[in-house]
Structure 1
Amino acid sequence: MRKRIGWRKKEHAGDIIRRARWRLTAQYSLLLLLLLGLFAGAAYSLLEASARSEQESQIQALLEDEFRLIDEHGGNTRGKGFMAEKDDYFAVGGDQAFYYWIDAQGSLLFGDENQNGLREQALQSFRQWTAGEDESRVVELRAESRIRRDRDAYQEGGERTPYLVASRTMTAGGREVGTLFVGIDISSQERMLRSAAFVLGGLTLVFSIAAVYVSHLMSRRAMAPIERSLARQREFVADASHELRTPLSVLLASIEALGISAPPSADKKEEARFAERTLGHMKEEVKGMTRLVGDLLYLARNDSGAAQLRLERFDLRVAAERTVQGMTPLFEAKSMTLAFHAPEPLPVYGDEQRLSQLLVILLDNALKYSPSASPVQVTIAEERSRQQRAVILSVADQGVGIRAEDQARIFERFYREDKARTRQHGGHGLGLAIAKQITDACGGTIRVKSAPGEGSTFTVRIPAEFR
């Protein structure tokens, strides 16, 4: 039953990630599709506006040129002078499809067209125009053409063709004389616009498919850190549970051992020594649990933002020297030498307690993984630049070293290159993670330079004046 519940929880977490990924995919896709749609719409609108503007300029130029001749003759289109010049100004073909001069009574005085069947349709459509107003509009007229139906037969038919028509009215003494209508065939431009719309639509479709695919990749990339964070969280909980369970098991076994009655022949002194050893083991386990809980509490408070630095001015050399002196007996117990070098004085503005804790972590790490009778060197230097003053803290040992593939992960919580060896040295895999948290909180960086069998050098760089 427990296995089924655990499987359901795991499946539920996976479903949450999957739903979030698809939600991000949908959001990214909608955003990209919206941008594609806006781009395609803007491109088509600009193309259409350019084509309409060119058509309008063309028809207005034709209308202006032809209307000038009528205006010069005062609207008298039957005089010899007008008729002599008419053919030089009025002509169909090329861009112009037709022209018509209609008097105030609506009678056609003269005109021409380039295709049969246009005149009656055009005159019929002109009756719907507002009298006396100059305007231009698109009208569709059925132009005659031949449409092949089979191999031997032809049938007269027609297709609707768009024309841009412009009109201009002449007045004399406040009285309407007549109106000139000029039309140009814009079917080629309309076909061009339809082709452009088709191409833009096709490109939009292709890029939309690509946008959905790219959105899926982006959502997977965006969710990858969250998935890794959840995986580390599960690993963190599992490791923390294991680290807490181990000392609890030792405590339980010790308590049970104390509860066993000694045999009648047992020596009282031996019994007292047994109880003392057992209590000593219990005390060490309780200390280890206290350190572990303290480390977990610090990390939890730091994650929640509750851990704040206590900033003050102090001499870093004095604080570091005090820490080194406090740990010297531990190094001497392993016949190790601990050297310390720092400028005097070294005033800084920061959190003395956290920086001392940082140095303790690095020294403890060197103590655990260095062989007996090996040297450890602590160096503090000051670095000055135009931007700021910084402090460089380094701890170098000649221990077992760290493999290159593990150096990027040693600052992760509960990460241990060799878990069995780490437990043997009494570590929980939290020290360097806390060192990284302290360094980040101080606005600095921490790096490691190491190789297997050649020792390790941890270098911390922090601002001397933290703000």
Structure 2
Amino acid sequence: MKNKWLKINWFKSSSDLFQQTQRKLTMQYSSLIMLFLVLFIVVVYTLLYIVILRDQHRELEQLTRQETRVISDYLAESARNELQGIGSQELVLAGVDQFFYYVTDADGNFVMGNEMVPNIREDLFSLVSGWVPERNQIREETIQVKFDERRIGGKEIKEQPKSDTVRLMIDGSPIFYNGQFVGMIYIGKDISFAYQLFQWLLVVLVSLTVLFAGVAIFISSVMSKKAMGPISNAFNRQKEFVGDASHELRTPLSVMLSSIDAIHMTDGVEADPFAQKLLRNMKSEVKRMTGLVSDLLVLARADSGGAERTLASFDVREEADRVIESLTPHAEANGVSLEIETPESLPVMGDRERLKQLMYILLDNAVKYSPDGGRVSLQLSEAARHWTMKVTDEGIGIHPDDQPRIFDRFYRSDKSRTRTVGGHGLGLSIAKWIVDIHHGTISVESEPEKGSTFIVTIPKEKAVSA
């Protein structure tokens, strides 16, 4: 593969974090607005549904009582104690939206009746035959009707044949004469228009919900953007401060380290064990602070977009050998053995120095947390679309509760060992950043007191096309 050298500015990871947070706030705000809107619509729809149907119930009950009184008055005037034969009399039983009415005698036999649509008496009468409603009991039924003619005002009017579903509200009332039960009257009211009204109302409310959903998302986006503004500004000022402070501290720390080396070589100091000890401690602390400042500067540049990545094709096996060779004295001083398992050659595309730093961080951590006599291994392998780095140790392991946070800055899972093993909790954060800029993933598999394995997977094509 032809070598390619590209310098790419790494976009701020914090920017992605703020965008994700803003999106979450937008979703939360819009969800709350939509929740109240949906609740409002449900309440309005339910109230209208109850009010309209209750009004229909009341009208049907009034109509039933009215027509029951008409029949009772007729029986009283004619001194009849039965309903048979009244069908031939001129009784006017009609009401607005009355789809049908039927009168039956005490035995349930049909006496008289009428319906708005002819030829469906058998179906309608089967709905009420033998039914004795309880107090305030009203039934709702649905029937299929073919409208080829309709009876209006006693006259039959021809219409174009069509089939339709009719929603009926049916009420029934007993008829008494001198305290004796003589029959029943049943009245059916067409309430199809009410359900059509509910359907249209539901369509309108759903349309308004969709419309207001877009408005809610827009308003929520504006609100979340304003809410994130002060936080974003404060974070940017913090990043600038960390970057400036880290940069300014590097020079005095370098001067201090040089001065300590100069004092160390001064006549009289070499013969004083106490002065030698103080100088060694001072030098160790200055080096530790220099490392901390360097790590802070790396992360500050990464956050601000100032960190550059140089892509090149190189053999990662060669760099791994150099890292192992460099860390071997440190590992032997801690009683830890280093092992490497890689193919003879593993050409990859990436930032040589950053990936080398990644290996240093993972291997140095493994050595620090390994017991005396422990082993640390580095494994490199490749597949068709990615290459993998694994660093395994036999150390103290990581508790499952701590594993999700080990890549956070300054996070230490075992704070009691901070001074013993050194470090400042930024190494794994930098490792995560290096993996991210190569579009890879890093994960850990660990059990307490059984060691840990860090697994880094970096895709080949994304590294090339980045």
What TM-score results when the alignment is normalised by the length of structure 1?
Answer: 0.48
Rg: which structure is higher? Answer: 1
TM-score (norm 2): 0.48
